[in-house]
Amino acid sequence: MKANTVLSRSPALALAKKELYSLSISPAFYGIVIFFLVFTSVWLFNFQNFFLRDMATLRPYFAGFPLAFVLVIPGITMKSWAEERKLGSIELLLTMPFSEWDLVLGKFLSCLGVLCCMLVLTVPLPLSVLPLGVFDGGVIVCEYVGALLLGAAASAIGLFLSALSKNQAAAFLGSAAVLIVIMLVNQIPFSQSVPEPLIAVINFISLTFHFESFSRGMLDSRDLLFFIFTAALFLFLNTRVLLFRKWS
């Protein structure tokens, strides 16, 4: 009873619950989830030729997550603020007794809920291939932790860009464009001659580069802090956008 009371008194959790319910009755939500599951499976078995590899590892499987997130995360976040702005309901939200952080965290938690749901639905695939070899369970758990952190940082970026956009289409395209750059920017040094100091900068801003340590089964505190800092930074910028709209 006490837990329910706390949840009901938390504006962020109440908003997250409302957002999750809104997503659950949207056909687009199920389309996004199915796309993610199909894309990652095809990536592993077709593009990475899993059955031709003489290695008991799921690294090729999780290597497809950053690419999938380029389209999946914008699909989740595009509606969050752009739709509120289009319908005019954002003004109503801003006049309610919620802080900007309550509103932003509510949207963010709903995105995390969807992300967790998608990751849970991928678990049967690793379980189905476990009998084919001796897999390291700790590495697989670490890869899932990295995928969750990667998705959380990407969701914060997507929410920020949704807050800047006038409609869902602009939010989706803007988020997808930004995510594909910061996901794949670390591939530039492999195809171009780039000075060493610039390579360090490129790797630092690349979400995929920081995800690689998790895919190797390493919980690197630097990469962990990078994802947390990135998510916190863009959530903070999101609150500034809301505050600007509130007083403009």
**How far from the centroid of its chain's Cα atoms is residue 236's Cα?**
17
Distances (CA, A) of 153 to 42, 86, 147, 164, 205: 25, 25, 10, 17, 12
Under 8 Å between Cβ of 90 and 245: yes
- In the chain, what percentage of residues exceed pLDDT 70? 92
Instruction: Let me know if 3 is exposed, middle or buried by CB neighbors in 10 A (0-12, 13-18, 19+).
Output: exposed
Question: To the nearest 5 percent, what fractions of the chain are helix, strand and coil?
Answer: 85, 0, 15
Under 8 Å between Cβ of 102 and 11: yes
More confident residue, 6 or 87: 87
Closest CA to 16 of 120, 99, 102: 102
**How far is Cα 236 from Cα 232, in angstroms, rounded to an integer?**
6
- Whether the pLDDT of residue 243 is over 80: the answer is yes
**How far is Cα 66 from Cα 208, in angstroms, rounded to an integer?**
6
Binning pLDDT at 50, 70 and 90, where does residue 47 land?
confident
More confident residue, 201 or 48: 201
Q: What is the 8-class DSSP label of residue 64?
A: T
Distances (CA, A) of 111 to 116, 128, 189, 248: 9, 27, 32, 27
Under 8 Å between Cβ of 50 and 44: yes
pTM greater than the 0.85 cutoff:
yes
Residues 102, 16, 29, 182, CA torsion sign: positive
Residue 202: predicted pLDDT = 87
Residue 218: predicted pLDDT = 85
Under 8 Å between Cβ of 76 and 158: yes
Residue 2: predicted pLDDT = 43
Binning pLDDT at 50, 70 and 90, where does residue 96 land?
confident
| Token pair belonging to 209 | 């580069």
Closest CA to 172 of 98, 97, 82, 96: 82
**How far is Cα 80 from Cα 171, in angstroms, rounded to an integer?**
9
Binning pLDDT at 50, 70 and 90, where does residue 8 land?
very low
Which stretch, 19-23, 56-60, 61-65, has highest mean pLDDT?
61-65
H-run or E-run covering 164: helix 137-164
Residue 48: predicted pLDDT = 74
- Whether the pLDDT of residue 98 is over 60: the answer is yes
- How far apart are the two ends of the chain, measured CA to CA in Å? 41
pLDDT digit string, tens, across residues 205-215: 999 999 998 98
pLDDT digit string, tens, across residues 129-179: 888 777 788 889 999 999 999 999 999 999 999 999 888 889 999 999 999
Neighbours of 52 (CB within 10 A): 6
Which stretch, 16-30, 127-141, 169-183, 193-207, has highest mean pLDDT?
169-183
